Amino acid sequence: MMKMAPILQSVLMCFVLAAKAQDITLTSFDILYELNEIKSLFELKETIEQTLKKQSDEMVQLKARVQELEETNEAMKNALEETTMKIQEQENHIKLLQSSVTEPTSQKRGKDIAFSASLQSSGLGNIGPYNSEIGLVYKKVLTNIGKAYNSETGIFTAPLKGVYYFRFYAHAKPGTKMAVSLYRNDSKVSSIFSWKPVTNGNASNGVVLILNSGDQVCTRLWGNAWVYDDDNNYTSFSGFLLFPL
């Protein structure tokens, strides 16, 4: 538009000079017509220039907006990458924790040890009295996971080093004393005792033992003592591995 002003002036001057030089009345119409044409063309050009300018401004704004969006996008990408990395780290951490938790458990699998047995395989009756101590053989197996208890000998043999819990319970009729001890190999660990109960006697004891693989645990009836059992499974011997060592 700025550039156009001097050109327009020149053009006008040419027309004015031409008008002076020739028949004014006849050509002045043409000149006015041409001038109007040029004016409207000039206005059209101005309008187009304004539109272009407006579009160009909008373009600049859009570019700035795109730039802004690209920056935001970049920032979000970085944040996402960071989060993904953190998640990965967490997952690795969880895996590590899981492996430390599940591995010992899975190692223990197949080493689950628990048993319960009662004295009489069937029927009812007393065991004892004998002159001296005898091992009690609990013949009726209620549970024997891991098969560490032998119902032929009454002996539990630790299949692995660990902490074990044992419990024994005895029931007896009146008449003579009831006395039973729990042994680890040849060492007495704990006992129950009832001196000639008037009606009948019940007693129980339980121990936690640290056993090495191969250590044996059993109960023994004292000399001149008895225990009784029937279908109620009164007199029993139980044990289980608390945890391996």
Ligand X SMILES: *[C@@H]1O[C@H](CO)[C@@H](O)[C@H](O)[C@H]1NC(C)=O
Q: List residues near ligand X by CB under 6 A.
A: 140, 142, 171, 185, 197, 199-202, 214-216, 231-233
Nearer to ligand X, 51 or 212 (CB): 212
DSSP string, 130-194: -SS-EE----EEEEEETS-EETTTTEEE-SSSEEEEEEEEEEE-TTSBEEEEEEETTEEEEEEEE
Minimum gap (Å) between residue 185 Cβ and ligand X: 4
For Cα atoms 110, 114, 117, give the angle at the middle one, nearest 5 degrees.
Answer: 140
Minimum gap (Å) between residue 231 Cβ and ligand X: 5
Nearer to ligand X, 15 or 235 (CB): 235
Percentages helix, strand, coil for the chain, rounded to the nearest 5?
40, 30, 25
* Helix-helix angle 4-21:24-108, to 10 degrees: 160
Minimum gap (Å) between residue 114 Cβ and ligand X: 14
Six token digits for residue 101: 């938790």
192 - beta bridge partners?
180
Nearer to ligand X, 19 or 160 (CB): 160
Round to whole Å and give the CA distance between 222 and 63.
100
Nearer to ligand X, 159 or 244 (CB): 159
Nearer to ligand X, 90 or 232 (CB): 232
Minimum gap (Å) between residue 131 Cβ and ligand X: 26
Minimum gap (Å) between residue 233 Cβ and ligand X: 4
What is the 3-class SS of 36-54, one letter each residue?
A: HHHHHHHHHHHHHHHHHHH
Q: How many CB atoms lie within 10 A of CB 168?
A: 26
Minimum gap (Å) between residue 165 Cβ and ligand X: 18
Nearer to ligand X, 14 or 210 (CB): 210
